[in-house]
Structure formats: structure tokens, C-alpha cells
Amino acid sequence: MEKAKTHIDYQDAVITLRGVSKSFGENHVLKNVDLDLYRGENLVVLGRSGTGKSVLIKLIAGLLKPDNGTIDVLGISVNDLRDHDLMKLRLKIGFSFQNSALYDSMTVRENLEFPLIRNKRNLTRTEINKEVEDVLEGVGLSQAINQMPSELSGGQRKRIGIARTLILRPDIMMYDEPTAGLDPITCLDINSLINEVQLRYKTSSIIITHDLACARSVGDRIVMLLDGKFERQGSFKEIFETNDARVKAFYDYNFIV
Amino acid sequence: MLNKLRSFFTEFANIHRFLLRFWRELVTPPYEFKEIIRQCFEIGWKSLPLISVTGFIVGFVFTKQSRPSLEEFGATSWLPSLISIAIVRALAPLVTALIASGKIGSQVGAELSSMNVTEQIDAMEVSGTNPFKFLIVSRIIATTISIPILTFYVAGIGLLGGYLSLASKDDLSFLSFFTQVFETIGYQDLWAMVFRAVVFGFTIGAVSCYCGYYSSKGTEGVGKAANAAVVASMFLVFIEEIIIVQILAIIN
Amino acid sequence: MSKAENKRAVIVGLFVFIGLAILIAGIFILGSQQKKFTKTFEITTSFPDVAGLKVGSNVWFSGVKVGIIKNIHFKNLQDVEVVMTIEEKSAEYIRKDAITKLGSDGLIGNKIIVISGGSQNAPSIEANDFLRSAKAADMEAMMETLQLNNQNLAKITTDFVEISRGLVEGRGVVGSLLTDTALVSSLQQSLRSISQVMASANTATSNLVLLTDKLNSKKGLVHDLATDTAVFASLRSSAAQLQGVSQTANALMTNLNAASNKLNNKDNAIGTLINDPTVGNELREVVRNLNTSTAKLDQNMEALQSNFLLRGFFKKKEKETKKANQQALKDSIQ
């Protein structure tokens, strides 16, 4: 299933990484990497678990500081940003976490309201309700509004997680393993949701995954993270037309059945 | 051995940084009043039944058990004084702190560490909310307020329990019991009780939050964090009790 | 703010409020018991030895707590000065000449200061007054007093021994009273006659009461008699006779009084009585006189009863009592 073509502006990089390194003790997760995310693009970062894919997006969000190199987001350098400005910048970035990261102690409605209430304090109650209902409608889960996260399935939680980030209308989306732990049918739903978001909200996205099916259906461009470096870039086809055993192994593993 | 020593001091540095950050976040806006109230509700109000029952039982049983030894000297008339000294000076803050360590420590430790494990804290941070302020500062303030309040309840209910235990054997009026109770204690005892309770409350809050907030990833981390929160806060409460008793002895 | 949040805020507010209320109630009860919130002023006293008195101990006046010890310090080589705060409202009852003592509020209790004494017309204490202290009622002082008591008791018993020996040997009035049997028997006789007279006088007067009742009730024979002026005159003479009898009795009593006065006479100290046998003889005379006079009184009373005018009344009364007795007998049989 190939995805529909979207408008990508290759002149406008919303995220730029230059010479970024990050290590945890002896574990060198990123070794002097460069990366660009262009406006309107869905960039898939493929890699095996534990290769530091999540570290990449945490660096971009300023949750972690790089050991070396510069990270620019929307033209602002994240490295030496003050807390307050970093907070503001983050509002332009939406995060979908691997485990959805819904607040367990709140209902779906409260989860969705949370970023709104805390960041846009001048909104009225009706405006908030309307936003919540709209965005919930967008992910197709209007009926779950008063449920607790624990009552939802993994796929539903994922959708709510995405909805929660969309409520702030971000320019950039980060998906951390959007299909991990979900059955194949639900995976397809999530993939189409990611594409839908790209179309409707005009977002530029980084999707981190090890799921090739997902990568193929959502990715405009794919990079492979191997041993702390981005080894290959290009479309899905271009990536796997290679004799590199490490890339082959990845491909074989995913389509072994 | 060297590694252990190093990790011990690293831990110490982390705690130091944690506390410094707490004070910094405490005084800088925005202030999370609503969340503080919510946490007072979760931590204080929801612990009230358990802690009240414990306080009553402590007062009742302590009186009952003290009676025979005083009876030997024919000094049962001293029971109200004994109860009042025991409860106000020692038992009320200590019992409250220990019960709260168990209940609040495990609750906060598990809650925060599971939020940490499931990336809820990260999610909060990237959605424009300072999780330290929202989660940690509000909880530590809530325990620092709630535990003294709970201590007052325990003192009141414990004295009531002591009275009921006394009244079941002696014909002692409520008024004369309370007159005797307040004859034995002084202002310094009351202030010491408040001071102790505030210190214990802060300790329990800070320890539980620290253990939960910096828990290791994975579901195992949740259990470890909850356990560490309870053990560490109980241990620290005892250490602080010893120090406070020494300080009070010097002051008086 | 949502509804749930509102409710939570209210509950938390209530929770904190009640908790603080408990604390504040504690502070106020403590305050009222330690008298921190009542108006007070300071007075001082000093003791050579305060026996472990502590700052914060109570001050009692008439067993009521009126203040606390505020400060204890050495004044000079012999004295320890104690500063007390006294409630203003109790101060008006404490006089300037009141005395302080050390005491304790129980057998092994805390040391306290007890204020006592003070005269009615002395003024009340004022701020910064100094009260004198008295030595505490300690064990030593108590033993000293006891010793003195013992010595006095010993002296008294020696005196008693002296007196009782005199009595046994029949010296003095009391002695001869105890040893002279003749005197005793005549004394007994006279006492018996007196009681006889008294009995007769008793019946006579009670009869008289009855008679006057009847007179007032305007019926019966006696009423008729009373309304008749002739009878009334003779009645008056008999009443005069009765008066004479009572006058004699009166005189007798005066005699008796005089005699006993002589016994009580303070000039005749008990020592002289004991050593003067003539007084004993006089007493014997008095008793004999008493005997004869009471015999005369007896005769008088009998004469009164047999007086013709009153005889009828007495007879009637006898009948009535008989009747009443018979009635009572009947009632009891039935």
C-alpha cells in the first residue's frame, strides 16, 4: 500500500541536526549524525530496538541535551534555550509516545483538556469542550470521551495520545513506535491516521519505528539508524536495494512470514 | 566497593540537586494551587479514616496498657498526664508519620514511578507543563500541609481514645480529664508537635517524590520505587525524631 | 473550575479547618489554664530555701490557683527571691499582710507556693508588692510542737495524781461528798422530794391548762361557774393561793441558786474548798433546808387539789380519763 503524494517543500527544513553525538556512559547512541526534516514531510527513522531512536526525538524536544552538535527546530537552536522558551517551542511539537503516555488518573476528556487548559488560559469552557470534541472526532473515538485510559484498548489509547498532541495544533509531529504492540489491523488504522494527520493538519513528522509495513505506508523518506549513524536515506525501495547485510537482515526479519 | 561508594555519593548529589530544584520551583511562578488542593485531597483527606482509626486505637490501647503499671503505685490518677505527654510529645506526630509513610509513600512512589515508566512525565513536559512543579512541588507541599493537620486529628482522637479507655474503668469526667491533660503539657510541647509534623510531612513528601520521579524504567521500577519510598521515609522519620528530641532537649 | 474540583476544594478546606481548629483549641485551653490570656501582675516573696520550687509551678490562695511562678533567683546570701504572676481578678482577695509558704500539691507532688492569712482591714495587694514568707510546716517543726505537747501532758497528769489522792483521803468538799454516806443519803432524799414536787406541779399546771381551755370554750359546768361572779371571787382566792405556792417554790429555787453560787464562787478557789471543812457543814445545812421546804411545797400542792371549788373539776377529769381508758379498751377488743 503506497501512500498518496503530499506537498513537500525541500527548501524549508523545519528540523536540522548537525554533528550531533550522544552517549550514555560507554553506550554511544548517536555518533556525529546530520539530519534534515523538510516541511510537510513524513520522515521514517528505521532502526532496531535499543539503537537510540527515541533518544533522537528526545534530543529534538530538548528532553535530553546532546554531548556535541547543534539542533535547530523551526529556526531556533534548542541547545542553549532557556526553560521558558523551550517550553514555548515544545508546544509547536506534538509527541505520540510509545505507550501513549495517557494520564492514568484522568478521564479521556481530562487528558485532552490538559494541554489546552494549561497553555491557553483564556479559553472558555465551551471553547475547550468544542476543541476536545473536534479532535476526538478526528481520531474517530467520540464515544470514549468519559472513559478512563485503563478501559481502552492499545489502539484506542494510541489514538487518544495522538489526539492529545493534535489539540495544540503542532507544526511538527513525533511518533515514537506508533505501531508497537498492536495487532496488524490496528497497525493499518494507525498508519492511515498518521497520513490523515499529515494531510489535515499540514504537519511535518518524524516517525520512529522498526515496523517496515508502517514505514512503507507512511514514509515519504526513510533513514536507517545503524550503529549510531544514519546509514541509508531514500524511499522505501531505495533503502532495500542494497547488499548491506545489516539492512538485509532487518528486511528479512520483518517479512520472514 | 569503589563503585558502590561512587554511586552512593552520586545519589547524594542527586538528592541535593532535587531539593535545590524543589526550592527554586517552589518560589518561581506559576503556582499550581489547584493541583496542591487536589493532592491535599488525595493525600490528606483520603488518609484521614485510616489515620483516625489508628490514632484512636493508639490512645485507647496505650492507656489500657499503662494502667496496670501505674496501678501498682496507686497512681492511676496520673494516667491523664501520662497520656497527654505521650500523645502530644511523641505518639501523635510519630504514629501519623509512620502510617503516612506507609500509605502516602507507597501511593506517591508508585504513582510517580509508573508515570515515569509510561512516559507520562515526558508527555507532560513536552505538552508545556513543568512536571516538577506540577507533580513534585504540589505533592511535597500537600504532604507538608496534610501531615501536620492529620497529626492534630490523631492527637485529638488519641486523647479521646485515652479518655474512653479511662472512663470505662474510672468515673472521670471529660472536663477533668482534659484539665489534667492540659495541665501537664506546655506551649513548647504543642509547638514541638507542629514542628515535628511539618518536618515529617516534608520528609515523606520529598522522599516519596524523589523515589518515584527518579525510578528506573520498567515495571520492576514501580515496585522498587514504592518500596524504597516507604522504607526510606520511615527510616528518615526515625532519624529526624532522634535529632529533634536532642535539639529540643538542648533548647529547654 | 469544574464541579468535582470545587467539591474537592471544599472538602480540603474543611479538612484543614477542622485540623487547625483542634490545634487552636489546644492552644487556647492551654492558654486559659496557664493564665496566659488573663490580666496578671507580678509580686515577689523570698525564702531561705525554695526546696526545688520550679518556674511555672502554681501559686495557691485558699486552695485556688491564682498564679504561677515566673522567676526564681538569688537575692543575697540567705534569700532566694521568687517572682510570681498573680491574676488581677483574684488579687483583690489577697491582703498585703498575707504570708507565703512553700507547700506541695500532693504527697509526692510538685512544690507550690501557698498564700495564706491576711487581715480583713488590710488593703489588697498591688503590682510589685512583697509578701513575707513563713517557714514551711515541715516535719521538724511538727515534731517540736509535739514535744511541747507531751511535756504539758506530763505536768497535767502529775496534778491529777495530786488531786485524786486528796479525793480518796476525803479532804475538802468533794472529798467529803464522796466519803460521807449520811450526806449522800440526805442529798438523795431531797432530790427525790424535788422530783415529787415537780411531778405534782406538772399535773397541777396541766390541769390548769385544761381548766382555762374549758373556760374559754364557753360550755360545761366550769363555764357556768366562771360566768357567776360569786364563784369567780372564790376562784380568784384559790388562784392567789396557788400563786403563793409558786412563790414559795420560787424562793426555794433562789435559795438553791445561792447555795450553788457559793459552790461556784470564784473567790473560793478549789484549793480553799478542799481545805475548809466548814463549807461542807454549810452545804449539809442547805440540803436539809431544801428537804423541809420541798415537803412543804408538797403539802401545798395536795391542799390545792382538795380545795372544794376545784374538787369537782378534778373528779370530772378523773371520770373522763376512765371513760377514755374504757373506750380504748373496747376499741382494742373490737
Give the pLDDT band of residue A257 (cuts 50, 70, 90).
very low
Which chain C residues are closer than 8 Å to B48 by Cβ? 15
Among candidates C9, C19, C26 on the partner chain, residue whose Cβ is nearest the Cβ of B149: C19
Cis peptide before B29 (omega within 30 of 0): no
Evaluate if residue B162 carries a pLDDT over 70.
yes
> What is the rounded average pLDDT of the residues C131-148?
68
Under an 8 A CB cutoff, do B115 and A97 touch? no
Whether C48 maps to a domain, the answer reads no
Q: In chain C, positions 19-48, which contact chain B (CB-CB < 8 Å)? A: 19-20, 22-23, 26-27, 29-30, 33-34
C-alpha separations of C323 from B208, C320, C329 in Å: 110, 5, 10
Closest-CA distance of chain C to residue B124, Å: 20
CA distance C18 to C12: 10
Tell me the range of A127-136, A179-188, B130-139, C35-44 where mean pLDDT is highest: B130-139
A25 and A188 Cβ atoms separated by less than 8 Å: no
Between the alpha carbon of residue B26 and those of residues A71, B22, B238, the distances in Å are 31, 6, 26
Separation CA B148–CA B193 (nearest Å)? 8
Instruction: Evaluate whether residue C75 is within a structural domain.
Output: yes
Q: What is the pLDDT of residues A3-18, one digit of tens each?
A: 666 677 777 788 888 8
What is the per-residue pLDDT across C191-235, written as a single tens digit (0 to 9) for each?
Answer: 787 777 777 777 777 776 776 666 666 555 555 555 566 656 666
Closest residue in A to B31 (Cα) is A118
Q: C6 — contact with chain B (CB < 8 Å)?
A: no
CB C323 within 8 A of CB C275: no
**Looking at CA atoms only, how far is residue B25 from chain A in angstroms?**
12
Interface-testing mutation among C6, C14, C15, C18, with chain B (most B C-beta atoms within 10 A): C15
CA distance C126 to chain B (A): 27
- Taking the Cβ of residue A58 and every Cβ of chain B, the question of whether any pair is shorter than 8 Å is answered with yes
CA distance A247 to A45: 13
DSSP code for A78: S
* A63-95 b/e (C-beta count within 10 Å ≥ 16 → b): bbebeebebbbbeeebeebeeeebbebbbebbb
Please, which residues have CB within 8 angstroms of residue C201's CB and are 6 or more apart in sequence? C249, C301
Candidates C9, C22, C23; nearest CB to B37: C9
Which pLDDT score, from 0 to 100, does residue A11 have?
76
pTM for the complete prediction? 0.65
Domain A9-92+170-254 of CATH type 3.30.390.50: no
* Residue type at position A63: L
Q: Could you tell me which chains touch chain A, where touching means 3 or more CB pairs under 8 A?
A: B
| pLDDT reported for residue A111 | 85
Please say if the pLDDT value at position A94 is more than 70: yes
User: Do C75 and C208 fall into the same domain?
Assistant: no
C164 within some domain? no
Tell which A residues from 171 to 210 touch B, by Cβ distance under 8 Å. Answer: none
Contact residues for B238 (Cβ-Cβ < 8 A; gap 6+) = none
Task: List pLDDT tens digits, range A56-78.
Answer: 888 888 888 888 888 888 888 88
Distances (CA, A) of A167 to A131, A179, C105: 7, 21, 76
For cell 509578701, the residue is C131
Q: How far apart are CA A206 and CA A57, in angstroms?
A: 8
CB contact under 8 A, C29 and B38: no
| Contact (CB, 8 A) for A133 and A111 | no
Cross-chain residue pair B45–C30, CB shorter than 8 Å = no
Count of beta carbons in the 10 Å neighbourhood of residue A39: 19
The 3-state DSSP composition of chain C as helix, strand, coil percent (nearest 5) reads 65, 15, 20
Q: What is the pLDDT of residue C89?
A: 80
User: Would you state the cell numbers that stand for residue C218, as one nine-digit string?
Assistant: 364557753
What are the helix (H) ranges across chain A? 53-60, 83-90, 108-119, 125-138, 154-166, 184-201, 212-218, 236-240, 245-254
Beta pairing partners, B199? none
Cβ-based contacts of B122 with chain A (< 8 Å): 58, 63, 95, 97, 101
Torsions phi, psi of A34, nearest 5?
A: -120, 145
Q: Judge whether A87 is closer than 8 Å to chain B, CB to CB.
A: yes
Q: How far is A239 from chain B (nearest CA, A)?
A: 31
Q: DSSP code of C50? A: -
Pick from B114, B125, B130: which is nearest to A63 by CB?
A: B125
Q: Do A119 and B122 touch (CB under 8 A)?
A: no
Q: Is B120 within 8 Å of A98 when comparing Cβ atoms?
A: no
Min Cα distance B6 → chain C (Å) is: 43
Assess whether C259 and C326 both reside in one domain: yes
Residues C327 and C188 grouped into a single domain: yes
CB-based contact B40 C16, cutoff 8 Å? yes
Return the sign of the alpha-carbon dihedral for residues C124, C128, C133, C137: positive
Taking an 8 Å cut-off on Cβ atoms, the answer to whether A165 and B115 are in contact is no
Q: Is any Cβ of chain A less than 8 angstroms from the Cβ of B220? A: no
Enumerate the residues of chain B whose CB falls inside 8 A of the CB of residue A121.
none
Interface test with B, best of C5, C12, C60, C107 (most B CBs within 10 A): C12
Work out how many domains chain C is built from and give that number. Answer: 2
pLDDT at A74: 83
Q: Are C305 and C318 contacting, i.e. CB atoms less than 8 angstroms apart?
A: no
pLDDT score, position C271: 46
pLDDT band at residue B230 using 50, 70 and 90 as cut-offs = very high
**C contacts of B45 (beta carbons < 8 Å):** 11-12, 15
Tell me the torsion sign for CA atoms A150, A156, A160, A161: positive
Alpha-carbon separation of residue C144 from A87, C141, C158 (angstroms): 91, 5, 22
For B26, what's the count of Cα atoms within 13 Å in the CB-facing half-sphere? 13
Contact B127 A164 (CB under 8 A): yes
CB contact under 8 A, B40 and C15: yes
Q: Which of B24, B41, B119 to mutate to test the interface with A (most CBs of A within 10 A)?
A: B119
Distance CA C189, CA A243 (A): 162
Residue A68's beta-bridge partner residues?
A21
Whole-angstrom distance, CA of residue C186 vs CA of residue B60: 83
Query: Are B41 and C26 an interchain contact pair (Cβ–Cβ within 8 Å)?
Result: no
Q: Which of A63, A83, A115 sits opposite B127 (nearest CB)?
A: A115
Average pLDDT, chain C: 73
Residue of chain A minimizing CA distance to B123: A101
- ipTM score assigned to the predicted complex: 0.79
Q: Is B227 on the interface with A (CB under 8 A)?
A: no
B119 and A104 within 8 Å at the Cβ level: the answer is no
CB atoms within 10 A of CB B138: 24
Selected residue with higher pLDDT from B149 and C251: B149
Which of C40, C91, C93, C90 lies closest to C69 in space, CA to CA? Answer: C40
- Looking at residue C95, the DSSP 8-state letter turns out to be B
Percent of chain A with pLDDT over 90: 0
Q: What residues does C46 pair with on adjacent strands?
A: C81
Q: Which of B118, B119, B128 sits opposite A87 (nearest CB)?
A: B128
- For B152, the closest of C8, C23, C33 (CB atoms) is C23
Q: Which residue has the higher pLDDT, C226 or B99?
A: B99
Chain C nearest C-alpha distance from B149 (Å): 5
| Any domain includes C152 | no
- Please check whether residues C188 and C298 belong to one and the same domain: yes
Cross-chain Cβ contact A104/B130 below 8 Å: no
- Please give the pLDDT value at position C140: 56
The mean pLDDT of A207-219, rounded to a whole number, is 81
**Integer Rg of chain A from CA:** 18
pLDDT per position as a tens digit, B167-221:
888 777 888 888 888 877 888 888 889 999 999 999 999 999 999 888 887 778 8
The pLDDT value recorded for residue C226 is: 53
User: What does the pLDDT look like over A151-204, one tens digit per residue?
Assistant: 888 888 888 888 888 888 888 888 888 887 788 888 888 888 888 888 888 888
Q: What mean pLDDT comes out for the span A202-207? A: 86
- Cell for C36? 496566659
Q: Flag whether residue B218 sits within 8 Å of chain A, measured between CB atoms.
A: no
**Mean pLDDT to the nearest integer, B62-78:** 82
What's at C154, amino acid-wise?
A
Report the distance separating Cα A56 and Cα A73, nearest Å: 13
CB contact under 8 A, B119 and A99: yes
Angle between helix C3-34 and helix B138-167 axes, rounded to 10 deg: 50
- Find the distance separating the first CA and the last CA of chain C, reported in whole Å: 100
Q: pLDDT tens, A106-119? A: 888 888 888 888 87
Chains that touch B (3 or more CB pairs under 8 A): A, C
Query: Same domain, yes or no, for C174 and C317?
Result: yes
Inform me whether the pLDDT recorded for C184 exceeds 70: no
Question: B127 and A114 in contact by Cβ < 8 A?
Answer: yes
Closest CA of chain B from C12, distance in Å: 6
Task: Tally C-beta pairs within 8 A across A and B.
Answer: 60
Per the CB < 8 A criterion, the answer to whether C300 and C248 are in contact is yes
- Range of weakest confidence among B226-230, C21-25, C56-60: C56-60
Residues of B in contact with A83 (CB under 8 A): 130
| Residue of B120, B125, B127, B133 to mutate when probing chain A, most A C-beta within 10 A | B127
3-state DSSP helix/strand/coil percent for chain A, to nearest 5?
40, 25, 35
Nearest 10 degrees: Cα torsion C292, C296, C298, C299: 140
Helix (H, G, I), strand (E, B) or coil at B31: coil
In a domain, C141, yes or no: no
Assess whether C217 and C105 both reside in one domain.
no
Q: Are residues C233 and C311 in the same domain?
A: yes
- Please give the pLDDT value at position B61: 92
- As a whole number, mean pLDDT of residues C62-86 equals 84
Could you tell me which chain B residue has the CA closest to the CA of A87? Answer: B128
Task: Give dist(CA A181, CA A187) in Å, integer.
Answer: 9
Residue of chain B with shortest Cα separation from C15 = B45
